[in-house]
Every structure is written in C-alpha cells, then in structure tokens.
Amino acid sequence: MIFIQTLLAFVLALSVLIVIHELGHYWMARLCNVKVLRFSLGMGKILYSRRFGPDQTEWAISLLPLGGYVKLLDARADDLDAVSPEDRKREFTSQSVWRRMAIIAAGPLANFVLAVFVLTGLYIYGMPEPVARLREVPENTVAYQAGLRGGETIIAIDGVPIHNWQEVRWKLTEVLMEERPAVSLTYRLPGDAGDDAAGSSTSTAIIPTHHVSIDDVDKDFIGKLGLSVERPPAVIGPVSKQGVAQKAGLQTGDRVLAVNGKPILDSLALVNCIRSSPGQTLALEVLRDGKPYEITLIPQARPEKDNLVGKIDAGISVMPEMTVLRYSIPVAFLEGAYKTWETSVITVKMIGKMITGDVSLKNITGPIAIADYAGQTARAGLIRYLHFIVFISISIGVMNLLPIPVLDGGLLLYYAVEIVSGGSIPEKVADIGYKIGIGILGILLLVAVFNDVVRLFF
C-alpha cells in the first residue's frame, strides 16, 4: 500500500511539473506566433492523442511518463513544402533570436512562477511548523560552549528574524553554503512569553562552524553543532489491546522518567531507547497521577529495513510544539517570491560546489529518492506535499537552465553566442554538443540512481 501511495504521489507531482514546464514553452510560442504541432505528456510512442485549438495542435499522452515535450514547426525536422506560406512564417528557426530565447526560457520560468504562487497560497492559508525552541544541548558541542543549554527560543540568525524551526534549518544551511566561520543566534530565554511580554529578554550566542562542512548538508549538520528542536515529554499515548505495553501495565498518560536507571529527556529519547532494545528487558520509572511506579517490559523485536527494532504497541508522540506562519496576500506573494529566489540561489551554489569538488557527488539525488520523499510528504498531508512540489519545481527550473546542450540552458547558451557572433552555431558543432550533453546527463543519472540505492537500501 505504501509503495502504491509513493508511486502515485511521485507520478502526480512529476506530471504536474512537466505539464507546467511544457505549457510555459507552449504559451510563449503562441504569444510569439510560432506554430505548435504537438504537446506531449511523456516521451516515446504516443498512446493517445487528440487535435484541437486554432492550429489543431496534437495533444498527446506518450508511453514513458518521465518527461514531456512541445514540438514546434521547425525547418530542421519538418518538410516545409507541404506547409502553407502563412505557416512558414511561423516556423521556429526563422524567428528572431530574442523570440527563440523567450520560448526556450519560458519553460523554466513557468516552474519558478508555479513555485511562487503555490508558496503564496501556503503562506495565505498558514503553514504549521515546529516552534524554534531548542532541545537540551549536549555538553560536548559548540552550542553548549556558546552558552546554550536548551529551552531557548531562537528569534534571529545573523540578524535575520526567525519564525519557526524550518527557518532555522534554512538559514543555517545558507551559513554552511557560504562557509561563514561562525553564526550568531539571538534567542529568548526559557519562560519568556514573547518579544512584547513584560520582562522578556534576549541574548546572543556566537557558534563557530569550522568543524562542519558543506558535505554535511544532507546529514544532521545542525545536530553536529549541538542544536535540535525541543520534543514533548515522554508520555505514553494510546495503548494497543494485548500489546507489550498493556501486558506490562503501562497506561495512556503515563510519563516515563527513566529507563534502567537513566533519565529520559523526552519522547524522542524514549522512542530511540525502545527501538534500540529489541528483546531486551527495560525497567521503566513511571509517573502516573503524581505517583511513581516501576514497570518492566521487553520490547518485541520486529523487522524494519533489514534491521530488528523494538516495539511496545503504544503511541508516543514526538511531534514538537507547532506554530502557524500566516501572511496577508501581498506579503505572502513577496515571501513566496523571495523564498523561490533564495532556494534557486542555494541550489545554484550547491551545483557550483559540486563542479569544483567542494561538495561530494553523494549529495546528488535521483528519481528513487525523490519518489520516496514524494510518498513521505504525501502521507504527511497536503501542505507538506505541496511544499515538496515547490522544491522540485524550483529544482527543475534551475536544472533546465544549466548550460548543458539538450537542456533549455544549453539552447540559451547557443542563442547567446549567436547574438555575440552574429551567426548561428554550425550544425556539426551543435550535434557534437548534443551528444556531449546526452553523455553528461547519462552520467549524472547513473550517479544519482547509485546514490539513491546506497542511501535507501544500505
């Protein structure tokens, strides 16, 4: 069932993004009065098609779902002898270089526009995110050395206001990408109700970042600094009938204070303890209605991704306290545009650092990992899924603008050369570039799939 959900979420997201991208090319071609012969969702053999519209454009669904294209009237591929004189004027290569560039650039631009408008809608509706409050800070970390202990609420990073934990992660990612030697965290002390509360005070911690690298971006680099989001207390939730927890005597609402004599920090610590103890005896110190109890249980060993983990058949919520970020329509649009720009810039920087070797190619993700994340976000709810679509749409826009032949960016590069030189790229040079581009994309796909397999199955 999970596999089917993942597959459907992936195909739906990819189909929407491909259609939007190709519609960008289509709409701009129509605006520039270039004849569109076919609009295809998918590649390869056409499974279904229908012609309609002023130009009787063929709208098709093709065999391979990973892709799509818009076919324009083009002298390089079509016989113009059978074309009317009026339509010959609408042939693609006969258009000015500026019109050709506009048609090619409209695809990636459509992906960016989609991201802006989806983010605008999300900001208007309100996006629930974890409160930027810190979990207990481990003593052997730079965050602890900077004076943080846990319970502090981060309100700014390097002077930029912070509203939730997602923004903390994002800003710290920027710091890492820009290789800043340190980051400044402004925070409210535990117990302060807010900026306007009477007696509310703020402090600043300077945290060095020299021991984390850009290669840590896809790992828990924030945890490496000693920072993590606060979790709720270790309280037992719904208990399954005849399960391990019920048989041992645990009840809904019990708060676990310690396991085998070791204090339990919060719900996440309890979950990790149980999962890492399959088949082992655990002595729980429990607080129930203000009275202490001792309960002994043995987590049942169950397989999970080729490993055995402990389960006690009881719900334990690890969800942090949430806050809702909501803006008026104008502010939401500006925030959506800024976030799209910011994400695009970071994506470009990451690609640049991969090219220079500063970032490992292990950070490249492919269709398997993207599909897995699509399934996870779809199961987490519509807002998370839409946020996933935004990120992938921006990534598609950026990737298509890379100056690699076969991609939109490669064609834009050819046209830029044409503007500078006053003449088009020789056909032989274009063919060589096309083959090189196919080779580059093929290698990147192989690396991405290899990374996906290693990341998900090993």
**137 to each of 143, 214, 230, 282, 321, how far by Cα in Å?**
7, 22, 10, 25, 18
Domain boundaries, the chain: 117-126+326-458, 129-230+320-325, 244-311
81/84 Cα distance (integer angstroms)? 8
DSSP one-letter string for 12-39: HHHHHHHHHHHHHHHHHHHHTTPPEEEE
Cβ pair 243, 273 in contact under 8 A: no
| Maximal C-alpha separation, the chain | 92
What is the DSSP pairing of strand 255-259 with strand 262-263?
A: antiparallel
- Assess whether the region 129-230+320-325 and the region 244-311 belong to the same CATH fold: yes
Cβ pair 375, 10 in contact under 8 A: yes
Per-residue pLDDT of the chain (458 residues; tens, 9 = 90+): 788 889 899 989 988 999 999 999 999 999 999 999 999 988 889 999 999 888 899 999 998 877 789 999 998 888 888 888 888 899 999 999 999 999 999 999 999 999 999 999 999 999 899 999 999 999 999 999 999 999 999 999 999 999 999 999 999 988 888 888 999 999 998 876 554 444 458 899 999 998 887 766 667 789 999 999 999 999 999 999 999 999 999 999 999 999 999 999 999 999 999 999 999 999 999 999 999 999 999 999 999 877 899 999 999 999 999 999 899 999 999 999 999 999 999 999 888 888 888 777 887 888 888 898 899 999 989 999 999 999 999 999 999 999 998 899 999 999 999 999 988 888 888 889 989 999 999 999 899 889 888 877 77
- The answer to whether residue 22 is catalytic is yes
> Which listed residue (22, 91, 152, 230) is catalytic?
22
Measured from the Cβ of residue 220, the count of other Cβ atoms closer than 10 Å reads: 10
Element (H, E) at 52: strand 36-52
30/265 Cα distance (integer angstroms)? 62
- Domain at 129-230+320-325, CATH class: mainly beta
Cβ pair 343, 427 in contact under 8 A: no
Token pair of 304 as six digits? 């999970």
**Angle of CA points 114, 354, 7, to nearest 5°:** 45
Token pair of 342 as six digits? 């910011």
pTM here?
0.86
The contacts of residue 23 (CB under 8 Å, 6+ apart) are 39, 110
Burial of 36 (0-12, 13-18, 19+ CB in 10 A): buried
Measured from the Cβ of residue 367, the count of other Cβ atoms closer than 10 Å reads: 15
> Any idea which fold 244-311 has?
Pdz3 Domain (2.30.42)
pLDDT in tens, 100-147: 999 999 999 999 999 999 999 999 999 899 999 999 999 999 999 999
Element (H, E) at 182: strand 182-188
Measured from the Cβ of residue 218, the count of other Cβ atoms closer than 10 Å reads: 16
248/255 Cα distance (integer angstroms)? 15
**Angle of CA points 330, 335, 340, to nearest 5°:** 130
